[in-house]
């Protein structure tokens, strides 16, 4: 996987378009002049968490005695479940209790975690870092680009939502969900294939 592919994958799992309704809902009682600052703070926190998982991923896996194949299969399953919720939206949102209507007086949760740095994003950075640890700085660059795109989208959430409308947001999210479903299935199949190859004959 190259930097471009990793960046696209991370953007999909962070789902900034799908998070726009959440951003609008959580920040509706915040002073409009402070909203950009709040979004930037939440994105910075999420970025720090993802970086920590990226650099500590191998040690974390070693500590728990997890194999790369197990992480690939688990990551594929998580991405697949998230993708299904993007394609077939639930009333409670993609992340369940973190959807619009959740506690709007609390930050870090649900914006930074799990909306941005959710299980799928954490599993993805762990998988990237563990599969090719020698390219960790490539993955940092991909994560940085993905976070930049996500931040720009969420900072502009109010304007984008007003411009394309709710139906436009839903259509884009479902399209992203379809792409993410294919990526999740590919990741799952690769993990299963490597596991079968390693079985004793």
| 140 close to 54: Cβ distance less than 8 angstroms | yes
Average pLDDT over residues 47-60: 87
Please report, rounded to a whole number, the percentage of residues in the chain having pLDDT higher than 90.
25
> Of 109, 169, 120, which is closest to residue 12 (Cα–Cα)?
120
Higher pLDDT, 52 or 91: 52
First to last CA, the chain: 30
CA angle 176, 178, 183 (to 5 degrees): 90
Which residue, chain included where needed, has tokens 């040690």?
59
Round to whole Å and give the CA distance between 154 and 135: 29
Q: What is the mean pLDDT of the chain?
A: 81
* pTM of this structure: 0.72
Could you tell me the residue ranges of all domains in the chain? Answer: 3-195
Cα distance between residue 59 and residue 182, in whole Å: 29
The pLDDT tens digits for 118-150 are: 777 888 898 888 888 889 999 999 999 999 999
């Amino acid at each position: 996987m190259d930097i471009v592919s990793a960046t696209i994958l991370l953007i999909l799992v962070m789902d900034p378009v799908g998070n726009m309704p959440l951003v609008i809902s959580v920040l509706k009682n915040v002073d409009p002049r402070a909203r950009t600052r709040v979004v930037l703070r939440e994105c910075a926190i999420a970025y720090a968490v993802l970086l920590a998982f990226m650099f500590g991923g191998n040690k974390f896996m070693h500590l728990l005695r997890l194999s790369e194949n197990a992480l690939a299969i688990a990551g594929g399953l998580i991405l697949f479940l998230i993708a299904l919720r993007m394609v077939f939206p639930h009333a409670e949102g993609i992340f369940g209790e973190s959807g619009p209507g959740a506690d709007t007086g609390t930050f870090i949760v649900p914006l930074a975690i799990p909306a941005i740095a959710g299980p799928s994003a954490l599993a993805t950075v762990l998988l990237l870092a563990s599969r090719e640890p020698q390219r960790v700085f490539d993955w940092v660059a991909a994560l940085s680009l993905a976070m930049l795109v996500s931040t720009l989208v969420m900072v502009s959430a109010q304007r984008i939502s007003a411009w394309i409308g709710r139906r436009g947001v839903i259509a884009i999210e479902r399209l992203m969900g379809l792409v993410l479903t294919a990526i999740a299935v590919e990741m799952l199949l690769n993990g299963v294939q490597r596991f079968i190859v390693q079985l004793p004959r």
